[in-house]
Amino acid sequence: MTKPTYTDYFFDEPAYNTHDGGYVPLEEPQTPQQALRIPPLLKPDKETATDTYYTVEAQAGETQLLPGAKTKTWGYNTTLLGQTLVFEKGKHMHIALKNSLPELTTFHWHGLNVPGPYTDGGCHAPVYPGETQHIDFTVDQPAATLWLHAHPCPSTAEQVWHGLAGMVLVTDQTEAKLPFPRNYGVDDIPLVLQDRRFHENNQWDYDADYDPDGVQGPTPMINGTINPYFDVTTQRIRLRILDGANRREWRLHFSHDLPFTQVASDGGVMPEPVQFTHLMLTCAERAEIIVDFGSVKPGETVTLYSDDVPIVRFRIHDYQREDVKLPDHLVDIPDPDVTPNTPVRKVVMSGMDEQVMIDGKKFAMQRIDAKQQVGNVELWDVTNTNEMDGGMVHPYHMHGTQFLVVSRNGHAPYPNEHGFKDTVGVNPGETVRLKVWFDKPGVFMYHCHIIEHEDGGMMAQIQAYTPEEPNKTYKLMDMDTLMKAVAKERGIDVKDLHLAGMSSYEKMGMQM
């Protein structure tokens, strides 16, 4: 039986960000094409058979993005984005988190199942300028494409906009046996999709571009490259695609509707490969796709578009034929039964602009909104109450877990939603049912991943607890401590400090 090739984006078209009042259309850059930057692999400080040691440094720098002046940027072990970390399943990782920025930051391991809140790296794990903190954990999840980004509420969006977003690859023996391309930088390529607006002297100006519904820019930036091309030297390539934008959805397709096969989503390899010609990613979602250029002649160019704007050009060179057929079944995905007598948990995402909330409340750092016992399996119903007219897709993300998508409004999830995920787009008026369990204890956040929405309060937090310590307490960051620290770092009085996300609280007369 021939499997279908899906040719639409699935999400509700009236809710696309193209309909936002503040939508900023992408524009094709008019600067010369340049080779796609491939983030280098970060070299471990030390490695043994059982342990790996890394130093991850958040640093400021300048990056040549456009002709002329360099752009002031931030990155991890580089000037923009990050060097790629590789975590081998089963190994114990020791990571020194070094902050060489002028202000506090946090290091959030998006999609990594580690204890919270300190190892997870949300807002309760600040690293102050000039300081280094140490974390360690054992990698015990399947191979996947994850990412590292700053998460200091309420300035997460601004720090990611500055460039703090790097790739993290988990490897394991199951994935290693599958017929996937995996020569990093040659046929296994990360693609971090972002957008920016360039102001005077090629600089970014977050405050000038600020929009409480998400900051956007007209210039596509792929792996920190403007107008990139990639030289294809193999018949098949694997693209590890991350929507690393603050707000933008990416609706992807190749020239001539060249089909491609998705083999993995946020949390790793999917049970079955799914063939597409069109793929939409909401903020923070990942998709690993395999593109076969066997029907394309050397010398030709295949272009990847978002909507109708070219974002990467793949220049086809001579390659050795390798007509590889993917198996119909890739991996087995655990699907545990729901813990008996457990009520369905309800989460409601509401509002736009400054009015965004979860369950009728804005995020408060010191408030625990929910509790779930480690190991218990629960159903979560996540609802987006925005009406279709003027509504928007909210990408819902959970720290500390990889969940399964059970249904959308009682119907089957999208064809590529049958594997582990940590972020899922929820259409206006829709309820997405998830199967959720935590393997590690701690305090974890759940929120919309339009980053200005989470900074503006569309976020809550859950405590995953063990039966042995049902009431364990954690030292949680508070707004007064944060404000005083940032004001001191900026050399101003705390009464004069304004962080972008605070406007959402001020307009609603609320406190973080």
Q: Which runs of consecutive H residues, i.e. helices, occur in 201-278?
A: 206-209
At residue 215 the predicted structure's pLDDT band, cuts being 50, 70 and 90, is very high
* Mean pLDDT, the chain, whole residue set: 95
The answer to whether the beta carbons of residues 438 and 444 sit under 8 Å apart is yes
β-bridge mates for residue 404, sequence order: 435
Radius of gyration of the chain (CA): 22
Fold of 5-13+180-316: Immunoglobulin-like (2.60.40)
The per-residue pLDDT for range 95-104, each reduced to its tens digit, is 999 999 999 9
The per-residue pLDDT for range 53-90, each reduced to its tens digit, is 999 999 999 999 999 999 999 999 999 999 999 999 99
pLDDT at position 180 over 90 = yes
Residue 497 has a pLDDT of 81
The per-residue pLDDT for range 386-418, each reduced to its tens digit, is 876 678 999 999 999 999 999 999 999 999 999
From CA 16, how far away is CA 212, in angstroms rounded? 17
**Sheet strands side by side (includes 165-171):** 85-88, 165-171, 144-149, 108-110
β-bridge mates for residue 313, sequence order: 229, 303
SS3 of the chain: helix, strand, coil, percent, to 5: 10, 40, 50
Residue 483 has a pLDDT of 84
pLDDT at position 121 over 70 = yes
What's the rounded mean pLDDT across residues 282-301?
97
The per-residue pLDDT for range 340-351, each reduced to its tens digit, is 999 999 999 999
Rounded percentage of the chain residues whose pLDDT exceeds 90: 89
DSSP symbols for 134-191 = EEEEE--S-SEEEEEE---TTSHHHHHHHT-EEEEEEE-HHHHTSS----BTTTEEEE
Residue 485 has a pLDDT of 87
The answer to whether the beta carbons of residues 127 and 121 sit under 8 Å apart is no
At residue 506 the predicted structure's pLDDT band, cuts being 50, 70 and 90, is confident
Domain ranges of the chain: 5-13+180-316
From CA 80, how far away is CA 421, in angstroms rounded? 26
Q: What is the DSSP letter of 337?
A: P
pLDDT at position 169 over 90 = yes
Residue 486 has a pLDDT of 84
pLDDT at position 508 over 70 = no
The per-residue pLDDT for range 442-453, each reduced to its tens digit, is 999 999 999 999
From CA 381, how far away is CA 344, in angstroms rounded? 7
From CA 382, how far away is CA 430, in angstroms rounded? 8
β-bridge mates for residue 167, sequence order: 147
Residue 79 has a pLDDT of 98
At residue 496 the predicted structure's pLDDT band, cuts being 50, 70 and 90, is confident
The answer to whether the beta carbons of residues 203 and 197 sit under 8 Å apart is no
At residue 499 the predicted structure's pLDDT band, cuts being 50, 70 and 90, is confident
Residue 355 burial (C-beta neighbours within 10 Å; 0-12, 13-18, 19+) = middle
Residue 490 has a pLDDT of 86
What's the rounded mean pLDDT across residues 262-280?
98
Residue 167 has a pLDDT of 98
Residue 1 has a pLDDT of 59
From CA 84, how far away is CA 93, in angstroms rounded? 15
pLDDT at position 2 over 80 = no
3-state class (DSSP) for residue 52: strand
The answer to whether the beta carbons of residues 81 and 165 sit under 8 Å apart is yes
Question: Given its phi and psi angles, is residue 7 left (phi above 0), alpha (psi -120 to 50 degrees) or beta?
Answer: alpha
The per-residue pLDDT for range 316-345, each reduced to its tens digit, is 999 999 989 999 999 999 999 999 999 999
Residue 505 has a pLDDT of 73
What's the rounded mean pLDDT across residues 357-372?
96
Residues whose CB falls within 8 Å of the CB of residue 107, separated by 6 or more in sequence, listed in order: 56, 58, 97, 121, 125, 127, 148, 150, 151
pLDDT at position 353 over 80 = yes
Residue 56, Cα to own-chain centre: how many angstroms?
Answer: 18
Report which of 227, 221, 278 is spatially closest to residue 16, judged by C-alpha positions: 278
Rounded percentage of the chain residues whose pLDDT exceeds 70: 98
CA 195-301-241 angle, to 5 degrees, is 40
At residue 265 the predicted structure's pLDDT band, cuts being 50, 70 and 90, is very high
Residue 433 has a pLDDT of 98
